[in-house]
Amino acid sequence: MASSDPAVAAERRRRLAILGGLWLSVALVLVVFRNVVLPFAGAALIAYVAAPLVERICSWRIFGRTPPRWTAILLIYAAFFLLVYLFFIALVPQLYRELLRISRDALDYANSLTPDRVQQIAHTAEQWLTERGVPVSLSRRALEGADGAPAAHAFSFSLDLQKLIEEGALRASAAVRENLSDLSDIFKLSTSVIASVLTGVFTLFFILMVGAFFSVDTRAIRAYGRGLIPPEYTGDARVLIARIDRSLAGVVRGQLIICLVNGVLTFCGLMLLGVKFAFLLATVAMTLSLIPIFGSILSSFPIVLIGAAQSWRTGLAALAWILGIHALEAYLLNPKILGTAARIHPLVVAFALIAGERTFGLVGALFAVPIAAIAVACFDFARQKAVAGVEPAVEPARSLGRKDTSA
């Protein structure tokens, strides 16, 4: 066999050492400059999401010729900015009205909290809890007793609700006065807000520009990457890349579709139930759905609380509607859109989200699941290669990143 030749084996080891050193140097650069990796990762995700549209547009025949890739990217970006413009024109005014309504309702409620009103609420809550075996003293009358002396309640929890609200209001006003004591503080705050907005706009355009470069040079980037892989491992690399692409397609593209469906269904349900601030709550639910598991849970709290503030029936109906949407996602949308091969176990998702948030904050949490999908695909591929007699191209019955469907 040719592989038994010492010269051939030495040449193979030399090539593997060189290519391994190149991959190690790339990894070292990414670690050293990890603070600037996230914008490029965002650009790569944008290019990956837009790849099917770019390929579809480039397959069109216009006057007997196919359009170049940069034309397809310009069309996609033009459609994106048109949608953003329509969003600001049609939806932002509605969002502003709902935020203004929330502020007005909160101010009216705060003005209605007179001492007598607070005592009435505290007495009603105290009576409701006492009837259910929870001895709690919330009203000042209960704390003082009938003759004005402090009342004694065995094994009861006492709380002066009015005093607590007054102290909280005083602390809030003192904090505002302390932070905005003079014009210089207001100027610093305004400068910080303007700088943050400008930085965000610049970062967005930078990411879009780099994403366009990724999309235009996709074939060249792939060819260069294949040149860093030894020829004897080309087949394995092709199988691994196919698995990573399948996982990312479900996690990234599929999750975006599910977020849109979640927002539309949430808005329709809240409108039918008559829940206030339906558009704002639906927007929050759609945005937070980008973060799997935790995002859906966090977006459910304000919906249920605002519904319950209107009436307990509205709160229960809103909760039932949200649970119905989550059941629809779990049993219909996820299998149809994501597919069973692209689904990651909730334990892996939870670990990735916490690790991403602790490392890079909220942005890290957004990128955590796609990175976890890549890591799980590589882990499963390496595990199957290490097991004797298992071909990597064959899907296993059980995998770390997939749920067991044999049951």
Q: What is the pLDDT of residues 136-185, one digit of tens each?
A: 665 555 444 444 444 444 444 455 555 666 666 667 666 656 655 555 55
Asked if the model's pLDDT at residue 229 lies above 70, the reply is yes
Q: How far apart are CA 325 and CA 265, in angstroms?
A: 7
Query: Coil, strand or helix: which one is 276?
Result: coil
Q: Residues 122, 161: contact at Cβ < 8 Å?
A: yes
Q: How far apart are alpha carbons 314 and 317 in whole angstroms?
A: 5
Which structure tokens are listed for 268? 């329709």
CA distance 57 to 179: 54
Q: Is pLDDT larger for residue 69 or for residue 190?
A: 69
Rg (CA), the chain: 29
What pLDDT digit, counting tens, does each position of 243-272 carry? 888 877 777 777 788 888 888 899 999 889
The mean pLDDT of 313-337, rounded to a whole number, is 82
Q: Return d(Cα 162, Cα 142) in angstroms, integer.
A: 12
Percent above pLDDT 90 for the chain: 2
pLDDT digits (tens, 9 = 90+) for 208-225: 899 899 888 888 888 888
**Separation of alpha carbons 142 and 325, rounded Å:** 45
pLDDT (0 to 100) of residue 137: 61
The CA-atom distances, in angstroms, between 130 and each of 134, 140, 149 are 5, 16, 21
91-141 pLDDT per residue, tens: 777 777 777 777 777 777 667 666 676 667 667 766 776 766 666 665 555
Enumerate the domain spans of the chain: 38-112+182-228, 115-179, 236-401
Length of the chain in terms of residues written: 407
Measured between its terminal Cα atoms, the distance across the chain in Å is 46
Distance CA 249, CA 332 (A): 17
Q: Give, in degrees to the nearest 5, the angle at Cα 342 between 337 and 343.
A: 90
- The yes-or-no verdict on residue 361 having pLDDT over 70 is yes
Residue 206 in this model has a pLDDT that exceeds 80: yes
Q: How far apart are CA 331 and CA 319, in angstroms?
A: 18
Percentage of the chain with pLDDT > 70?
73
Sorting pLDDT into bands at 50, 70 and 90, what band is 400?
Answer: very low
Pair 277, 104: CB distance under 8 Å: no
Q: Which of 204, 257, 179, 255 is nearest to 84 (CA)?
A: 204
Coil/strand/helix, residue 399: strand
Q: For residues 365 and 79, give the distance between their C-alpha atoms in angstroms, rounded to a whole number.
A: 28
Sole residue written with tokens 């932070």? 179
Tokens of 218: 């996709």
* Structure token pair of residue 376: 């799980």
| pLDDT for residue 78 | 92
